Structure formats: structure tokens, C-alpha cells
């Protein structure tokens, strides 16, 4: 290599470091031409590298990407025209400008028909070279942007499919079709790692061409994985692809093969493979990179699907746990209600009916469902404190002594104490603790008044009183419905919340009417 070549390379490196200078490769067997071109193209801010023949140019193009190649037509070993052909067959993807003497203009024009972008006539003027180079680079940039746009569109299409679909097979199918479209493959397959067998199983296969053989040999995943681990690209043509297959031989008609890994959080979960069986149709490095992008989309689809199924699973077990909690909760309430009924003959059915009347009032007030559920449960549990009151006292036919009244009046407080240690029953405390409070403050145990009595307490108080009056008790027979309603109206504002009392009277009449119409007369108080 000449001193001039060294100098050009050094300047070129500096230009590259300084920014995104376009990379130009100059090929000429004449040292003077190489030196002149390198010098003034470098001065123009381009990153320039020079070589003296076509073979060296090919080697350089295979190692590093270049935006533009300026090559002489007549060179020993490999002519400019031959170089052009090799660039096309190897899909090296570089724009070419030919340099030619006056006598070979015809050849240059011929070369342009074969894909060269432009030509420069020797001896050339500096401005002319700059002009051609700039125009070529502009064209190259447009081309690159067009490719990038096309890739972006494909990736967008695939990403959209991933976002819209929860069906992993559908997403993988979209990814494979995009792979086929992008690299013009005849067959694409996607293998996923199976944890049980610790092997890679074919999950999706898309065949785009009738020429593709029916059966394909399985890729040799041991070799593929080894190469992925080393970061080496898997891209091979014809018989050279044999090492990537289990039978150590490529399919007979195989023209080209490429494989890219699917990584999910640094774990290799699968492999995307593309096959070309079209003669002369070979995948290149650009294709392989595009496939890598698609593979990463497929990997994120798999990851999403896995996260989704984990989410669904944990949600299901949460629902299961919740419903078993709810079941336990209902069983606990039923257990308490049962214990209570056994301690008081006359309250048999009372808790249930208070729950029903409380619900009628709650629904009539259009309270939220959750609140109504709590009110119904509180209705069932309101007298739970009576569990601690002596059986003989509760079922005493005559009047209670003042001491007995005092003991009896402890039941709301006792109810609170029974529920207090059970967190899931805390929502029912108000109903137990406050159903004997009076609206005017004359009730017990705390003498609360008006709105300071929790709503559930004021509701259960009315339901409790109505059922107590319309049921047989140890100390008296049941009172008729009209008498009970009259009593509630009379006590509105003193014992009961007047608005709730008014609503209850109205709602209970409507309920009775409905029950009669449905033939349930026996279930309503006389
Ligand atoms: Fe009570």
C-alpha cells in the first residue's frame, strides 16, 4: 500500500469520527488517480478508502459498508465490469460510478445498463467529480430511506398485529408472512423451545411457493445455538448451508438459508428460519437484519402472550380465592344466624325477615348494590348479640324485670364484641350495634340521634320493629299489618328516621301487593 493510501485512510477515519460522513471506496490501478481522488474527496468531507484492484475492492465491500464505489473500468485481475457483476450477484448493495477514458464510453454505457449509476470521463474535472458523487450519494440516501420506510411499514404492520391480537398463533403467522414478503423467501418456519422436551419444535410454517419441497430437513439447533451464542450470523447459500441441518446436507434445491434467534429477556425461546428454493435467489445481510427485527417482534408477542396467560391465571386464582372467601363469609353469617335462632324460639325466621324488609327499604332508596348486600347481611346478623343472652330470659312469656331488661339491652353491644375480632365482619357492626338507637336520641346503647345513627342502623331498626310487631312473641300474639304500619308512622321522628319510615310504609305496601299478585299471601304478615 502506498503512502498516499495510508494518508487517505487516516484522514478518512478522522472524518468518520467527526460525524456521519459518506463512505466512498475508490478502485483504480493507477496510483496517481487514487491519490488525487482520495485527496479532494476527503477535503470535501467524505470518508475515503482506496484499493488498487477489483478483488481487493470486493474484500473491502464484504467487510465494511460503503455508500459509493468509484471504480476504473480497465484494471488487471478483475475489470470494472466484472466487479460490477460480482457486486450485483453478491448483493453488496453499493452504488457504483465508473471512470472511463474516451475510448471506452460505450462500455461505460453498457455498464450502466447493468446497474452502474453513472460514469466519469477521464481526465476529469474536480467539480464534475464532486457533482457526480453528490448526486449519486443523494440517490443512495433516497434509496436507503425508501428501504427503511418499507421496513418501518412492515414492522408497524407486525407490531399492530401484536397489539391487537391475543392469539399467539395469529401473531406468529403475521410475522412469518411479513418475513416471506420482506426477503422473498419460499418457505419460512418458526420453531419454539419446548421446556418439557428441552427441544425446538416447529410452531408455524408458511410456504409461499409451489416450487418448495414438501418435506424440509430439521435445522440442526445445536449448531444454530452455538453460532447465535457467538453472535455469528447464520446465512448460507446452496450446499454450504448443509451444516445447519440435522442430516448435514442441505435440501437438494436449496438456494439460500438464513436463521435468526428469538430472545425473550436474554433467553433464546425460538428460531425463525427462511428458505429460498428459487435458483439465484440468495438472502443477504440486509435481509438477515430485517429478519432479526421481525424475530424480535415475534419474541415480544410470545412474551406478551405469556404475560397475559400469567395474568389470566393469577386473576382466576384471585377470583377463586375471593369467591371462597365470600363463601366462607356467607357460611359464617349463616352459622351465627343458626346459633341465634336456636337460642330464641320466637326469633325463628326473624333474622331472615328483617333481612328481607331491610332489602326492600334499601332497594327503594336506590342504594348501590354493594351497600344493599351489606344491609341484607346486617339484617341477618342484627341480633347476633343475643347469643350471649340467657335462653330462658329471651323466651320468657311475661314482662321482664328491670335487671332482665338491663341484660337484654346489652345485646347490641355484645353483637359488636362478637363481630369485632373478625375483620371480614366489620361491615356488619353498625347494623348490630345501632338498631336500637332512636332518631330522637332516646335509644340505646349509645343514645345516638338523627343522621349520626348509621343509615344501616336506621334501616334495620324499622325492619326489626315491623317484623317484631307482625310476629308472635313469647309475651304476645302477632299484631296485624295495619297496626304495625300505624305504629311505625306514629313513631316516625321519635324512634324512627321520619323519611325512612315514610318510605318503608310506602314500599312495604307495594311489596305486599306484589306478593299477593304472585300468590304468596301466606308469606306476608296478616
Ligand atoms: Fe335487637
Give per-residue pLDDT as tens, 198-256: 888 888 888 887 777 777 888 999 999 999 988 888 999 888 898 899 877 778 888 89
The Cα–Cα gap between 465 and 437 comes to 12
Q: What does the pLDDT look like over 96-125, one tens digit per residue?
A: 998 887 667 777 778 888 788 888 888 888
Closest CA to 255 of 137, 89, 467, 8: 89
Distance 391 CA to ligand 1 centre (A): 15
Mean per-residue pLDDT, 415-441: 91
Distances (CA, A) of 84 to 27, 96, 115, 281: 12, 8, 8, 18
- Band of the pLDDT at 14, cuts 50, 70, 90? very low
Please tell me the distance between residue 68's alpha carbon and the centre of ligand 1 in angstroms.
95
Give the tens place of pLDDT for each residue, 253-302. Answer: 888 999 999 988 788 889 999 999 888 788 887 788 888 888 887 888 77
CA of 318 to the centre of ligand 1 (A): 37
Whole-model pTM? 0.45
Q: How far is the CA of 352 from the centre of ligand 1 (A)?
A: 13
Omega before 123 within 30 of 0, i.e. cis: yes
Give dist(CA 404, CA 395) in Å, integer: 12
Q: Are 244 and 234 in contact (CB under 8 A)?
A: yes
Coarse DSSP helix, strand, coil percentages of the chain, rounded to the nearest 5 percent = 60, 15, 30
Residues 39-67 have a mean pLDDT of 90
**Closest by Cα among 59, 125, 129, 48 to 87:** 59
Task: Please give the distance, rounded to the nearest whole angstrom, from the Cα atom of residue 454 to the centre of ligand 1.
Answer: 15
Contact 507, 501 (CB under 8 A): no
Q: Name the nearest CA neighbour of 378 among 399, 396, 398, 362.
A: 362
Q: Between 202 and 447, whose confidence is greater? A: 447
CB-based contacts of 251, cutoff 8 Å, min separation 6:
213, 216, 217, 245, 275, 277
CA of 396 to the centre of ligand 1 (A): 16
pLDDT in tens, 336-382: 777 777 766 666 688 889 999 999 999 999 999 999 999 999 998 89
Gap between the Cα atoms of 512 and 526, Å rounded: 10
Tell me how far apart the alpha carbons of residues 78 and 143 are, in angstroms, rounded to a whole number.
27
- Region 495-504: mean pLDDT is 97
Displacement of CA 326 from its chain's centroid (Å): 30
How far is ligand 1, taken at its centre, from the CA of residue 385, in Å?
Answer: 8
Phi and psi at residue 54, in whole multiples of 5°?
A: -65, -40
* Cα–ligand 1 centroid distance for 409 (angstroms): 8
The pair phi, psi for residue 120, each rounded to 5°, is: -120, 130
Q: Which range scores top for mean pLDDT: 184-188, 232-236, 302-306, 435-439?
A: 435-439
403 CA distance to ligand 1 centroid (A)? 17
**Minimum mean pLDDT range among 5-19, 246-260, 312-326:** 5-19
- For ligand 1, the distance from its centroid to the CA atom of residue 149, given in whole angstroms, is 77
Q: Distance from the CA of 326 to the center of ligand 1, in angstroms?
A: 25
Give the Å distance between the CA of 509 and the centre of ligand 1.
24
Amino acid at each position: 500500500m502506498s503512502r498516499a493510501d495510508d494518508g487517505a485512510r487516516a484522514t478518512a477515519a478522522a472524518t468518520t469520527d467527526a460525524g456521519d460522513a459518506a463512505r466512498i471506496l475508490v478502485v483504480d490501478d493507477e496510483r496517481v488517480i487514487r491519490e488525487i481522488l482520495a485527496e479532494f474527496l476527503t477535503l470535501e468531507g467524505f470518508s475515503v478508502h482506496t484499493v488498487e484492484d477489483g478483488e481487493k475492492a470486493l474484500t473491502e465491500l464484504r467487510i465494511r459498508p460503503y455508500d459509493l464505489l468509484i471504480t476504473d473500468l480497465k484494471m488487471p485481475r478483475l475489470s470494472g465490469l466484472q466487479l460490477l457483476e460480482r457486486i450485483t450477484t453478491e448483493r453488496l448493495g453499493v452504488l457504483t460510478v465508473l471512470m472511463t477514458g474516451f475510448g471506452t464510453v460505450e462500455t461505460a454505457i453498457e455498464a450502466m445498463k447493468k446497474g452502474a449509476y453513472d460514469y466519469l470521463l477521464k481526465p476529469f474535472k474536480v467539480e464534475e467529480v464532486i457533482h457526480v458523487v453528490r448526486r449519486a450519494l443523494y440517490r443512495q440516501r433516497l434509496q436507503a430511506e425508501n428501504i427503511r420506510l418499507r421496513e418501518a411499514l412492515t414492522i408497524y404492520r407486525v407490531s399492530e398485529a401484536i397489539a391487537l391480537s391475543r392469539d399467539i398463533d395469529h401473531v406468529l403467522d403475521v410475522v412469518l408472512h411479513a418475513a416471506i414478503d420482506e426477503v422473498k423467501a419460499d418457505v419460512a418456519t418458526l420453531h419454539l423451545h419446548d421446556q418439557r422436551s428441552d427441544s425446538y419444535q416447529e410452531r408455524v410454517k408458511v410456504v409461499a411457493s409451489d416450487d418448495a419441497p414438501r418435506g424440509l430437513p430439521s435445522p440442526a439447533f445445536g449448531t444454530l445455538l452455538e453460532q447465535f451464542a457467538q453472535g455469528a450470523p447464520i446465512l448460507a447459500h446452496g450446499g454450504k448451508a448443509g451444516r445447519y441441518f440435522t442430516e448435514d446436507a442441505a435440501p437438494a434445491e436449496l438456494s439460500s438459508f438464513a436463521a435468526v434467534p428469538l430472545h425473550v429477556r436474554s433467553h433464546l425461546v425460538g428460531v425463525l428460519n427462511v428458505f429460498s428454493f428459487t435458483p439465484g435467489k440468495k438472502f443477504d445481510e440486509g435481509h438477515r437484519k430485517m429478519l432479526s427485527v421481525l424475530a424480535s417482534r415475534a419474541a415480544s408477542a410470545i412474551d406478551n402472550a405469556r404475560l397475559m396467560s400469567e395474568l389470566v391465571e393469577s386473576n382466576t386464582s384471585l377470583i377463586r380465592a375471593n369467591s371462597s372467601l365470600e363463601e366462607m363469609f356467607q357460611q359464617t353469617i349463616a352459622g351465627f344466624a343458626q346459633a341465634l335462632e336456636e337460642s330464641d324460639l320466637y326469633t325463628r325466621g326473624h333474622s331472615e325477615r328483617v333481612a328481607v324488609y331491610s332489602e326492600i327499604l334499601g332497594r327503594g332508596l336506590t342504594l348501590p348494590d354493594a351497600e344493599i348486600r351489606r344491609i341484607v347481611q346486617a339484617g341477618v346478623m342484627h341480633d347476633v348479640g343475643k347469643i350471649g343472652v340467657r335462653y330462658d330470659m329471651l323466651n320468657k312469656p311475661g314482662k321482664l324485670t328491670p335487671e332482665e331488661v338491663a341484660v337484654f339491652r346489652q345485646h347490641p353491644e355484645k353483637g359488636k364484641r362478637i363481630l369485632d375480632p373478625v375483620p371480614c365482619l366489620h361491615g356488619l357492626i353498625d347494623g348490630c350495634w345501632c338498631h336500637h338507637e332512636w332518631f330522637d336520641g332516646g335509644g340505646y346503647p349509645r343514645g345516638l340521634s338523627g343522621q349520626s345513627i348509621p343509615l344501616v342502623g336506621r334501616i334495620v331498626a324499622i325492619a326489626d320493629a315491623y317484623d317484631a310487631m307482625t310476629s308472635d312473641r313469647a309475651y304476645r300474639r302477632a299484631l296485624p299489618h295495619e297496626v304495625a304500619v300505624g305504629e311505625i308512622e306514629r313513631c316516625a321522628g321519635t324512634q324512627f328516621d321520619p323519611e325512612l319510615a315514610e318510605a318503608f310504609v310506602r314500599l312495604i305496601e307495594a311489596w305486599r301487593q306484589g306478593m299477593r299478585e304472585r300468590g304468596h299471601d301466606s308469606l306476608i304478615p296478616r
